[in-house]
Structure 1
Amino acid sequence: MSTFRYARFGAALLASAPLAAHAAAEPPPTPAELQQLRDELRALKSDYEARLHALEERLEHAESSRQAVAEAAPAPAVATASAPSGAAFNPKISLILDGGYADYSRSHREPDVAGFLLGDETDPRPSGLSLGETELAVEANVDQSFHAWTTLSVAPEGGIGVEEAYINTLDLPDGFSVKFGRFFSDIGYQNHQHAHAWEFVDAPLVYRAMLGTQLGDDGVQLRWLAPTDTFFEVGTELLRGASFPAGGDGRNGIKAITGFAHLGGDAGLDGSWRLGLSHLRADANRRPTGDEDEPALTFDGKSDLTILDGVYKWAPNGNATVRNAVLQGEYFFRHEHGELVADPDGSADLSRYRGDQQGFYVQGVYQFMPRWRVGLRYDRLFADNDVANAVPDSALDRLADDGHDPQRWSLMTDFSNSEFSRFRLQLSRDVSRPNHIEDDQVFLQYILSLGPHPAHQF
């Protein structure tokens, strides 16, 4: 019994004291009268107990209600002084380190792909130990309407290039968004991914042959996301056209334009998928082939590329930490027509050129236990080129020799010590060069990430 309850009961006893004194002057009560007094006292005590209990319950309920209202109420606004501009600017900064070892059974002094004109950034990794590109990424919300992203690439020789530097809108209505600046195009599936996110050491042959490894350019992108349960988006990009397969002189205006559509969704509890269709129309004006400073050929004309891509991802109950698998593939079809110039700085040879080229890759990567994965990729290219003036033993002649269909097999395994570090071994049998030259390749690669890095797209 609480102190409060004892006090109330004591007061009741004091109130009954005069009655007890008066009773003492009277004759002693009979046993029946004593029992009646005990019953009355018991009833009085019980009544006070009930009333005290009811009051305590009401008090407890009142205190609980007051606390609930206080917790639900919004916190009062607190006036704060304006933060200094340096404190308000707090971007995420990450650094990607890439390097390793490469061994080839054949020399790569002339890294040709039979039947294809290559861009200037398609050379394979250097032989032996080498440092790959170091990537520095900075991103943050500018304000409630814009998000900014910048990626700087530091070449092993020390040169610094701007890989991406773009602005995204955040609050356009009806599912629309705009990106402008320099960015990797959203055509295909792998093109928008940075190299450290690739499943293999190098890009597929079709990317190397038809997009110069990866299409990135200055421009603006408009995208619309449909308000449906099934993922569906469409978009277009207007580009400067400074990158392969456009490129060359006279970049005034819009020299490349793309369009893309993506459709995707879930496949039960374990899987998800996405399909894509893309097209690129590029205008080339003296586009160099091979070394930009000493091109073997230049091309003037139009290049049209269509890409069909698909990816399926599997993980038991959607939990990819222990086991998961990714199956992806892309099919490219390109048509080019225009004029080729061989040895443009010497005795130039001119030729009309039409090329119908196709290619695909398909790959699968399986994580069979935590941190360990294996992967297999197959690449294949086909070329049907018409070169009107195929000068013997020249670059024009090699382009016209389309009797060989380049192909390559690649097997890899990698170990991720954490989400910030990965070590990879890759073995490839490359038969993509003219004259059916076979090249056995061995790669060792490390990829280390320092600092916060946003999750990669699906």
Structure 2
Amino acid sequence: MKKFLLLLIAVFSFATEDIEELKKLLQKQNAIIENLKKRVDFLENEHKKKMVEELDLHEHKQETKKNLPNLSLILNSSALYRDISNDLYKNYSIPGFIDTTTADIPYNANKGFNFNYAEFNIHSVVDDLFDADAIFHISQDSIEIAEAYVKTIYQPLKVKIKAGKFKSDFGYINRFHQHRYNFTYIPLIYENFFGPEGLNEKGIGFLNNVEDFTLVGELLQGENEQSFGSTSSFALFNFSLKHKKEFEDFKLLSGISFARGKNDSLKYTDIYGVYLVLKNEALFQGVTWQSEFLYRNKELTSKTLNQSGFYTEFVLKFQENIGAGLRYGAILKNEPDLEENLDKYSAMVFYKPSANSRVRFQYLKDRSKLFNGVKKDIDEFLVELNIAIGTHFHQE
């Protein structure tokens, strides 16, 4: 019995010692686990910080990329033959529209070689509300701001607002720049009513899309000298209703416009316009028929001018990069008692080596001009080269 008790005492002593060792071991393990937890928490926090920093950096890069402007450059030059001297041509007149020595000739002014312009375009998203465009027209003698405006991105009630200096949305062709024309020059009726670069004004415009229709309202300064030219502010407004319908094989675009503003006689000029454009991509590589009619009532101090005219043009693409076209434009009414037999014929062929270059060959028969009071028909042949570098945003 005594031996058994001694054995139990010895076992209990060893067991107690083992328990104490286990407790110490557990304490060490707990300390190690606690340290590991702290290390994991530290690493997780560092990882979260790094992820946040990387996310911020990515967002900053995206924001920087979004705000970086898109740039483009358009170069236009030509070689030209015209059967009249340069000096005489610069003094042409068109009865009821352009007086002698007042003609603006921004393109192809001289026989021989012409560098017509370089057009530098800047487009950028400003923020969540606005984007902005600036278009600079650079000639050999000057740099002009062709357009500079902001547009709203957010469109409550589907209304887009544009403010600054911009080409009016009157009619169809007016909003385009020269390099977007199917022919070298703006149509005769537009040249006579608005000048060779169309109606370009400072002001504010509102555009509202409702299904297939677009409503346009513009409040403009009214500085255009061909039809308006009043020195008072807010002297011109334009209202246009435009329609676009897409069918299986073709597009139909149509619209009406009305512009009213004060002229330099402090009287009112009213201009009405209507257009129709058909585009069929299924015929050949594309066919376009484009026509516009404009009417002007211009009150002067001693008389009222009632004038109208139209143009129509047809363009056929034989291949994606080769095409040809015909245009005819005429003055239909030029009252009171002014020359009415004024018109132009144009024929052209174009070749596009790439999406960024175009060569255009054009013949023009111009029967609209007087020189020293005598009407003279003009024959003109030209080769025009157009080069585009970068992304051209403002007319896409």
Does the TM-score normalized on the shorter chain lie above 0.5? Answer: yes
Q: Does 1:211 align with 2:194?
A: yes
Question: In the alignment, residue 384 of structure 1 is paired with which amino acid?
Answer: N
Identity across the alignment (%):
22
Say whether the 8 Å CA contact 1:301–1:338 is kept in structure 2: yes
Counterpart secondary structure, 1:79: helix
Q: How does 1:15-414 map to 2 (within 5 A)?
A: 79-81=55-57, 83=60, 89-106=67-84, 107-117=88-98, 121-122=104-105, 125-126=108-109, 127-157=111-141, 159-213=142-196, 214-226=198-210, 228=211, 231-248=212-229, 250-251=231-232, 253-267=233-247, 269-285=248-264, 299-316=265-282, 323-339=285-301, 352-386=302-336, 400=337, 402-414=338-350
Residues 404, 436 of structure 1: 8 Å contact kept: no
Q: What residue is the counterpart of 1:56 in the other structure?
A: none
Q: From the superposition, tell whether residues 433 and 201 of structure 1 become closer, same or farther in structure 2 (CA, over 3 Å).
A: same
Q: Report if the CA contact (8 A) 2:279-2:288 is conserved.
A: yes
Deviation at 1:87, TM superposition (A): 5.9
| Aligned-residue offset at 1:121 | 2.8
**Amino acid of the structure 2 residue aligned with 1:433:** K
Identify the residue that residue 47 of structure 2 maps to in structure 1. none
- Alpha carbons of 1:169 and 1:125: their partners in 2 closer, same or farther (altered >3 Å)? same
AA in 2 matched with 1:444? V
**Structure 1 residue 420, shift from structure 2 partner:** 0.3
Which TM-score applies when normalising by structure 1?
A: 0.69
Structure 1: give runs of 5+ residues left out of the alignment: 1-75, 286-298, 340-351, 387-399
Q: 1:355·1:383 contact (CA, 8 Å) conserved in 2?
A: no
Judge conservation of contact 2:230–2:262 (CA < 8 Å) in 1: no
Q: Does the 8 Å contact 1:97/1:134 carry over to 2? A: yes
Task: Quote the residue 1:417 is aligned against.
Answer: 353
Structure of larger gyration radius? 1
SS of the aligned residue for 2:174 comes to coil
Shift of 1:307: 0.5
Q: Is the contact made by 1:235 and 1:260 (CA closer than 8 Å) also made in structure 2?
A: yes
Question: For 1:98-129, what per-residue CA distance to the aligned partner results, in whole angstroms no more than 9, with x for missing partners?
Answer: 01112211341322223323675356622220
TM-score (norm 2): 0.79
How far off its partner does 1:353 sit?
Answer: 2.4
Give deviations 1:162-216, integer Å, cap 9, x for gaps. Answer: 0000011011222111000010000010000011111011111011101112110
> SS state of the match for residue 238, structure 2?
strand
Letter in 2 for 1:162: I
For the residues of structure 2 that align with 1:403 and 1:247, how far apart are their CA atoms?
A: 22
* Contact kept in structure 2, 1:245 and 1:282, CA below 8 Å: no
Q: How far off is 1:219 after superposition? A: 0.2
Structure 2 segments unaligned to the other structure (5+ residues): 1-50
- Deviations 1:270-313 (Å, cap 9, x if unpaired)? 1001101001112122xxxxxxxxxxxxx553211100011111
- Give the Cα separation in 2 of the matches to 1:362 and 1:149: 31
Q: Partners of 1:170 and 1:109 in 2: how far apart?
A: 44
Partner of 2:390: 451
SS at match of 1:132: strand
State the secondary structure of the residue aligned to 1:191.
helix
Query: Which region of structure 1 is more displaced relative to structure 2, 415-424 or 85-94?
Result: 85-94
Give CA deviations for 1:216-251 in whole Å, capped at 9, x if unaligned.
00000011110x2xx101111000112233554633
Distance across 2 between alignment mates of 1:163 and 1:172: 26
Q: Partners in 2 of 1:105 and 1:186 — Cα distance?
A: 36
- How far apart, CA to CA, are the structure 2 residues paired with 1:142 and 1:310? 35
One-letter identity of the residue aligned with 1:270:
D
RMSD across aligned positions (CA) = 2.2
What amino acid does structure 2 have at the position aligned with 1:314? N
Query: Would the alpha carbon gap of residues 105 and 124 (structure 1) be closer, same or farther in structure 2, given more than 3 Å must change?
Result: farther
1:67 corresponds to: none
Pick which of 404-413 and 357-366 moved more: 404-413
* CA–CA separation in structure 2 for the residues paired with 1:88 and 1:273: 35
CA distance in 1 between partners of 2:95 and 2:228 (Å): 21
Distance 1:109 1:452, change over 3 A: closer
